[in-house]
């Protein structure tokens, strides 16, 4: 492995993640993937399938243009690790549990009415805002596993 290959793979995965998580994911997948039972699991699986396809659609041309030598096994293993961990976190209750056991529950609830310092309107109703602690922790978790996936893809 060389550092340039790792960097190119990581950047392609990060861009693919952002596009797949925010532009390709449907409103239905976003709303349903955290629901209990099979309907939630399947919505999450559909999201992860389109997300992974987006990452592949960006990574393979980058690899071809830059002449990167990536093995099929490395791609399958790295994208597999990324897909499984993304699916796990996007079930929502799992990430909420992780926040709880790591002492991050208050931050997890930041930006929601459940947070003790949530923003309110002059009528004392929850105010609109950008982002939540749950979203920040979700994206941070995904970025960690994108790093692992890039390492696996470039070293296997």
Structural domains in the chain (count): 1
b/e sequence 7-27, b meaning 16+ C-beta within 10 Å:
ebbbebbbebbebbbeeebee
Q: What is the pLDDT of residues 55-69, one digit of tens each?
A: 999 999 999 999 999
Domain enclosing residue 125, as ranges: 3-155
Q: pLDDT > 70: what percent of the chain? A: 92
CA distance 88 to 40: 12
Check residue 27 and give its pLDDT. Answer: 94
Check residue 110 and give its pLDDT. Answer: 80
CA distance 147 to 141: 10
Query: HEC string of 99-155?
Result: HHHCCCHHHHCCCCCCCCCCCECCCCCECCCCCCHHHHHHHHHHHHHHHHHHHHHHH
pLDDT tier, 132 (very low <50, low <70, confident <90, very high otherwise): confident
Q: What is the pLDDT of residues 72-92, one digit of tens each?
A: 999 999 999 999 999 999 999
Let me know the angle formed at the C-alpha of 1 by 58 and 83, rounded to the nearest 5 degrees: 40
């Amino acid at each position: 492995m060389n550092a340039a290959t790792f960097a190119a793979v990581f950047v392609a995965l990060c861009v693919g993640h952002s596009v797949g998580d925010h532009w390709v994911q449907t409103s239905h997948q976003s709303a349903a993937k955290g629901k209990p039972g099979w309907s939630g699991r399947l919505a999450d699986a559909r999201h992860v399938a389109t997300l992974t396809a987006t990452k592949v659609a960006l990574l393979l041309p980058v690899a071809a243009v830059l002449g990167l030598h990536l093995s099929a096994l490395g791609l399958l293993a790295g994208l597999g690790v990324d897909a499984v961990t993304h699916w796990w976190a996007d079930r929502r209750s799992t990430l909420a549990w992780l926040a709880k056991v790591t002492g991050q529950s208050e931050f997890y609830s930041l930006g929601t009415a459940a947070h003790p310092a949530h923003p309110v309107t002059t009528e004392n109703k929850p105010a609109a805002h950008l982002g939540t602690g749950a979203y920040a922790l979700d994206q941070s978790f995904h970025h960690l596993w994108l790093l692992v996936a890039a390492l696996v893809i470039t070293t296997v």
